[in-house]
A = this chain, B = another copy of it.
């Protein structure tokens, strides 16, 4: 274990003895780097990935103490297991690791949908484990073990969604873990998390993915000009939309209900806006724009923009 500052021991002892990361992409590798650099998260980091090539890269990067291609072997003896793969893989992963989970282990995840995680993972875990789903609201448009960095979570939110009856000490330990990553921690129930994320994240991504297709379907000549003049607004949509396809596919499929509800509300509102434009209802349009400006102002006031 390297300590930052050349041999000086960190002030705090690690919270966990052995952390197993099931998946080592942007989020997993950022956690691994944080653990290695700061020394106060976990004494040992074990990394698992679907492909041997990814694990070879993890070894080259030197961000884990040990790599394991079999998730069941990766979790052996761990007191913290974090699922860091796309949420669509969780049911399968949970079934594989369940028999090898040590008594008292905290099992958590970093998925963007939480009702589905409780549905897919919760029932499979043995009674002697603690299940505390989590969602760090952090990321970039890049993916894979090379994309991570140890400061990714600093100043960002991590939302914990412990099911009713979850051991409070386990929740407190995981909260401390995320706080040591530099995150602010919020706790809410899973259905509420999924509705909030549907409007602040999943719907904006769906709209961004959609408008790219709409633009791409235009005649050839216009399509070139879409690229040429993208700076006028379209570019920002492509930035939002430049994320991992499998991750987003799984998010959409696993937050289906809340996402479709928010899209239905949005579509009604977009149709009302279209009607106002068609019939020249200027006041309606100005009112919508002013509401947007006041939201923007609130964001700037609370330093979120």
Contacts and interface: CB of A to CB of B under 8 A. Distances in A.
Nearest to A195: B222
A267 B265 contact: no
Interface in A82-105: none
Given A222-B196, A260-B277, A282 B253 contact: yes
A291 B264 CA distance: 24
B217 A265 contact: yes
A107 to B, nearest CB: 24
B288 A236 contact: no
B214 A286 contact: no
A197 B239 contact: no
6 contacts: A199-B214, A200-B232, A200-B233, A211-B269, A226-B295, A245-B289
Interface stretch (A6-14, A37-45, A123-131, A296-304): A296-304
Interface of A: 137, 141, 156-157, 159, 186, 192, 195-197, 199-218, 222, 225-243, 245-246, 248-249, 252-253, 256, 259-260, 262-267, 269-271, 273-274, 277-278, 280, 282, 285-286, 288-293, 295-296, 298-299, 302, 304-305
A116 to B, nearest CB: 13
Top-3 shortest CB links A-B: A201-B232, A212-B292, A204-B233
Given A206-B273, A298-B227, A201 B289 contact: no
